[in-house]
Homo-oligomer: A and B are copies of this chain.
Amino acid sequence: MKAYQDLSREELLALQAQLVKEYEKAKERGLKLDMSRGKPSIAQLEMAGGFLDVLNSDSPMKAEDGIDVRNYGDMDGIPEAKKLMGDIMGVPAENVIVCGNASLSIMYDTVSRSVTHGVLGSTPWCKLDSVKFLCPVPGYDRHFAITQRFGIEMINVPMTPQGPDMDMVEELVSGDESIKGIWCVPKYSNPQGYTYSAETVRRFAGLRPAAKDFRIYWDNAYAVHHLYADRQDELPEILSLCAEAGNPDMVYEFCSTSKITYAGAGISAVASSKANLDEMRKCLTIQTIGSDKVNQLRHVRYFKDINGINAHMMKHAEWLRPKFEAVLEVLDRELGGLGIGEWTRPNGGYFISFDAMENCAKAIVAKCKEAGMVLTGAGATYPYGKDPRDSNIRIAPSFPTPEDMAMAADLFVLCVKLVSVEKLLAQ
């Protein structure tokens, strides 16, 4: 296979003519494919078979602490749900508050509360001239949307296979008091599927931020979301590492069962130090009457414990893995050695990250759309929707069927080739 860059102008023109033909044919098929979001497929929802049956009219409705889950009470969540969610994150139940169906809401609330009320006594961010967050890129668009919503300036930090560029993180955080946070998806990162190395996590825990109210937003969304039984990434537990490093309050960790049971009807949790949780509780007491404990109990009764969750996640893996592998097989076969794209090979999570030639991502996504396939918008993986190289595309294989997935991958590589040829011809 010859790299496109090594082709002569004539060869490129001939290739273009052929690709255009293939593309016109693809358009005629009238495809309707959606790879835009990390949305579980119907098959994955069905994997939680019997989930709605474990709580019924005959079920005892008391939590371990004697509270009737149908009534008010237990602002923290029921004890057994705190334990279960704590086990997902590898932290003690006492460091956990169980919340509603979206960890995104906890993150939003945490930022919003910092804006209006500050963090453990610090000046509310709305009273400051400048508030900044570090954003490892490419990253998760919904994180960036929250900070953008509150007018927080976002600073790009490059990702590596070991995690964010920690030299840069350390330098920025220690030198600028206006930097108040960093968004992290430390395990099977969105979109690369990278897991932060032990060294990266250790350096995170040992940060010496200029701002006392600096916090690491540790979105452990894919903690148990492996694709393989025998090839699983390990992430060191950051709360204890922070405590050991003398930074007990520096991290908020988030997780949920959105991609374990039901995307729209799971439960979420936050883990942090007692001081941070107490501050949240002070707010929760005013903000809510407590989260839905019936759904918490349903989760505990269904899975029993973390072993139940791990076993369940292997069912997801068996369904997701062939789709990931199908995409990777097509990428390898069709784009390998062509020099027009690079991609990640994750062991878990929901995404493959694809980097096209510079200034090609938008055009590729547009070409795919024209032929009936919706991808995450190019740029979405960067703050403000601006990928400075216009290169990154997030591939989300979870929702389509395997058959659709194969068609999707074929169309995708075709569009990558076509746009790349056009790009090279225009140079």
Which A residues contact B (CB, under 8 angstroms)?
37, 39-40, 42, 45, 49-53, 55-57, 59, 61, 68-73, 100-102, 104-105, 108-109, 112, 115-116, 124, 126, 142, 145-146, 149-150, 258, 262-265, 283, 285-295
Residues of B within 8 A of A289 (CB): 101-102, 104, 258, 263-264
Residues of B within 8 A of A295 (CB): 265, 292, 295
Q: How far is the CA of A288 from the CA of B28 in the complex (A)?
A: 38
The reply to whether A56 and B53 form a contact with Cβ atoms under 8 Å apart is: yes
Distance in Å: Cβ of A323 to nearest Cβ of chain B: 17
- Report how many copies the assembly holds: 2
The reply to whether B40 and A71 form a contact with Cβ atoms under 8 Å apart is: yes
Say which residue of B69, B101, B109, B287 sits within 8 Å of A264 (CB atoms).
Answer: B69
Say which residue of B69, B115, B283 sits within 8 Å of A265 (CB atoms).
Answer: B69
The reply to whether B292 and A72 form a contact with Cβ atoms under 8 Å apart is: no
Given contacts A45-B70, A68-B42, are A108 and B265 in contact (CB under 8 A)? Answer: no
Q: Which residue of B lies closest to A117 (CB)?
A: B149
Q: How far is the CA of A55 from the CA of B298 in the complex (A)?
A: 13
The reply to whether B292 and A150 form a contact with Cβ atoms under 8 Å apart is: no
The reply to whether A56 and B56 form a contact with Cβ atoms under 8 Å apart is: yes
Residues of B within 8 A of A100 (CB): 100-101, 292
Q: How far is the CA of A71 from the CA of B101 in the complex (A)?
A: 11
Q: How far is the CA of A57 from the CA of B56 in the complex (A)?
A: 12
How would you classify the secondary structure of chain A's contact residues: helix, strand, loop or mixed?
loop
Distance in Å: Cβ of A141 to nearest Cβ of chain B: 10
The reply to whether A39 and B265 form a contact with Cβ atoms under 8 Å apart is: no
Distance in Å: Cβ of A164 to nearest Cβ of chain B: 23
Residues of B within 8 A of A109 (CB): 287
Residues of B within 8 A of A71 (CB): 39-40, 42, 45, 262-264
Q: How far is the CA of A267 from the CA of B39 in the complex (A)?
A: 24
Residues of B within 8 A of A126 (CB): 115-116, 124, 126
The reply to whether B68 and A57 form a contact with Cβ atoms under 8 Å apart is: no
The reply to whether B288 and A72 form a contact with Cβ atoms under 8 Å apart is: no
Q: How far is the CA of A359 from the CA of B52 in the complex (A)?
A: 53
The reply to whether A108 and B72 form a contact with Cβ atoms under 8 Å apart is: no
Identify the 10 closest CB pairs spanning chains A and B, nearest first: A265-B294, A70-B262, A108-B287, A126-B126, A45-B70, A101-B292, A265-B292, A145-B286, A71-B263, A102-B288
Residues of B within 8 A of A39 (CB): 71-72
Given contacts A45-B71, A70-B265, A294-B264, are A287 and B105 in contact (CB under 8 A)? Answer: yes
The reply to whether A72 and B265 form a contact with Cβ atoms under 8 Å apart is: no
Residues of B within 8 A of A72 (CB): 37, 39, 263-264
Q: Which residue of B lies closest to A37 (CB)?
A: B72
Q: How far is the CA of A327 from the CA of B209 in the complex (A)?
A: 60
Residues of B within 8 A of A286 (CB): 108, 142, 145-146, 149
The reply to whether B262 and A294 form a contact with Cβ atoms under 8 Å apart is: yes
Distance in Å: Cβ of A196 to nearest Cβ of chain B: 24
Residues of B within 8 A of A263 (CB): 70-72, 289
The reply to whether B50 and A52 form a contact with Cβ atoms under 8 Å apart is: no
The reply to whether A104 and B264 form a contact with Cβ atoms under 8 Å apart is: no
Distance in Å: Cβ of A298 to nearest Cβ of chain B: 9
Specify which of A68, A71, A112 lies most central, judged by the most chain B CB atoms within 10 Å of its CB: A71
Q: How far is the CA of A68 from the CA of B46 in the complex (A)?
A: 11
Distance in Å: Cβ of A59 to nearest Cβ of chain B: 7
Residues of B within 8 A of A288 (CB): 102, 104-105, 108
Q: How far is the CA of A286 from the CA of B112 in the complex (A)?
A: 12
Specify which of A40, A104, A142, A263 lies most central, judged by the most chain B CB atoms within 10 Å of its CB: A263
Q: How far is the CA of A241 from the CA of B49 in the complex (A)?
A: 48
Beyond contacts A102-B289, A115-B116, A149-B283: 10 other A-B pairs, Cβ-Cβ < 8 A, are A52-B55, A70-B265, A102-B288, A104-B288, A116-B116, A116-B150, A124-B126, A146-B286, A262-B294, A264-B289
